[in-house]
Amino acid sequence: MQIKKPEPFTFEAGPRAVLLLHGFTGHSADVRMIGRYLETKGYTSHAPIYRGHGSTPEDLLTASPEDWWEDVQQAYEHLQNLGYKEIAVAGLSLGGVLGLKLANCYNVKALVTMCSPMFFDNRTQLTIGFEQFARQYKQLERKDEATIEREVRELLDKSKTLFTDMKHFTDDISKEIDMVYAPILIVQARKDAMINPLSANYIYDHIASYDKTLKWYEESGHAITFDKEKDKLHEDIYSFLEAQDWEQ
């Protein structure tokens, strides 16, 4: 069975732009509802898909965090090339980690992190998440159970190098956030079972930003952009963006 691959999106609606970044194993659908909501409020948004994502589990293992970092820089520059001079960034999970690095290297207008890890103490959870993704993908391919079990085991064996690279990448960024001064909204789901929720406190305590807010969402899990408090999340992001000193 052929599976239709997701695509990046750009919703142009006004002079203020927001770069939307998805999570690990995810793709642009992670942040599409935020993009559509912001579009109704006059904000332009763009969401890339990192290398290896939006495709097969095998493809995901061919990419690296450094590839994803290059992809995010290219996405930021894509908005600049379209003529947008002021660009905010909002990222889910891994997307928030990449957003923190972007805010350290570029003149980001404002930053929203959503359930973004700062400690790599979730190797077990990450492995479970990757296994679920791989298994679901192969079920969509309509493979038999024996084939699925064999291929998923092979993928898990091959994933160790990538997870080690992700640990080093996350550790390096966590040590650099004291050089990030962009205004920030730190979003964390209380029922997040994928990452250590104390990552949100770490970001709040260590980031150099003077304008910083930590918001907890009591009824949501890690995939907060799809969860029951998503409407509140949309409104909070919009209010945060509106509070910034935009030129236009």
Instruction: At 94, list the tokens.
Output: 């891994």
Is 59 tagged catalytic?
A: no
Contact between 197 and 114 under an 8 Å Cβ cutoff? The reply is no
Catalytic residue among 93, 159, 199, 220: 93
Spell out the residues 6+ positions from residue 59 whose beta carbon is closer than 8 angstroms to its own.
52
Of the candidates 53, 55, 43, the one whose C-alpha atom is nearest the C-alpha of residue 15 is 43
Is 199 tagged catalytic?
A: no
DSSP string, 159-220: THHHHHHHHHHHHHHHTTGGG--S-EEEEEETT--SS-THHHHHHHHH---SSEEEEEETT-
Instruction: At 172, list the tokens.
Output: 């390096």
Catalytic residue among 46, 192, 199, 209: 192
Phi-psi region of 81 (alpha: psi -120 to 50; beta: other; left: phi over 0): alpha
> What does the alpha-carbon distance between residue 19 and residue 6 come to, in Å, rounded to a whole number?
17
Sign of CA dihedral 101, 95, 127, 190: positive
Is 239 tagged catalytic?
A: no
Instruction: At 138, list the tokens.
Output: 């192969």
Q: Give the residue numbers annotated as catalytic, written as ranges.
A: 93, 192, 222
